[in-house]
Amino acid sequence: FGWIEVIASGAMYAGKTREFIKRIDELKWAKKKILIVKPMLDDRYGESCVMSHNGDNVTAINIKCPLEILELIKRDNYDVVAIDEAQFFDKKIVQVIKDLRDSGFLVLITGLNTTAEGKPFGPMPEILCIADDITILYGVCAACGKPATKTLALFDKDQDIVVGGQGKYEPRCNKHWVHNRL
């Protein structure tokens, strides 16, 4: 049996992808074969790249549906499946992750727990429930510098998913988070 490791946060810019890339680097040093995937719809940094806000990046395969992972793992002798931005996937990802664990894979996942409105983000609640290990990261509140566990949308946001980074979203603490925009 394998193991499910989740790196999550309520705030964007908390270093999830940076931590993800660090763990991938360590696993590469340990000679593990790693399949890295991310949702097609996160197109911020081009086709096949997982990029943190500080510019670190690794090569990933863009997929539309979680079930594609089950095909991709047949292509090589992978030890690890790493999934970035899991909040964007539909709930099928949950069963895929369990199946990967039961087949012996280490599954490494990052995701944003909550939307800017504070709602559970996509499959993240279920993913946290099946995790063997959870790392919760904080950001720095853009208004006061205290630990940020929330994200503020700086635009009129009328749906859960709006891909974006600087200029669209800011990390905020509980005091400086305004969540009445939906």
Residues identified as active-site? 85
Candidate ranges 26-34, 60-68, 99-107, 160-168; the one touching ligand TMP (CB under 6 A): 160-168
Would you say 27 or 154 has its CB closer to ligand TMP?
A: 154
| Residue 116 binds: one of Mg ion, ligand TMP, none (C-beta under 5 to 8 A by kind) | ligand TMP
Candidate segments 20-28, 64-72, 108-116, 172-180, binder of ligand TMP by CB under 6 A: 108-116
Residue 118 in the binding site for ligand TMP (CB under 6 A): no
41 binds, among ligand TMP, Mg ion, none (CB under 5 to 8 A by kind): none
For the chain, how many residues are written? 182
Contact between 171 and 14 under an 8 Å Cβ cutoff? The reply is: yes
Q: Is residue 89 close enough to count as binding ligand TMP by CB under 6 A?
A: no
From candidates 151, 170, 172, 173, binder to ligand TMP by CB under 6 A:
151
Cβ-Cβ contacts under 8 Å for 22 (sequence gap 6 or more) = none
78: contact with ligand TMP by CB under 6 A: no
C-alpha angle 54-41-63 in degrees, rounded to nearest 5: 100
- CB nearer ligand TMP, residue 78 or residue 177: 177
* Whole-number Cα distances in Å, 2 to 90, 103, 106: 22, 7, 5
Tally of CB atoms within 10 A around 156: 7
Within residues 10-39, the interface with ligand TMP by CB under 6 A covers 12-13, 16-17
- Alpha-carbon separation of residue 174 from 82, 136, 160 (angstroms): 31, 16, 20
Structure token digits, residue 119: 């709602």
57-59/49-51 β-pairing: antiparallel
Q: Does 5 bind ligand TMP (CB under 6 A)?
A: no
DSSP structural state of residue 20: H
Which of residues 11 and 73 has its CB atom nearest to ligand TMP in the complex? 11
The yes or no reply on residue 170 touching ligand TMP (CB under 6 A) is no
Q: How far is the CB of 83 from ligand TMP (least distance, A)?
A: 12
d(CA 148, CA 24): 25
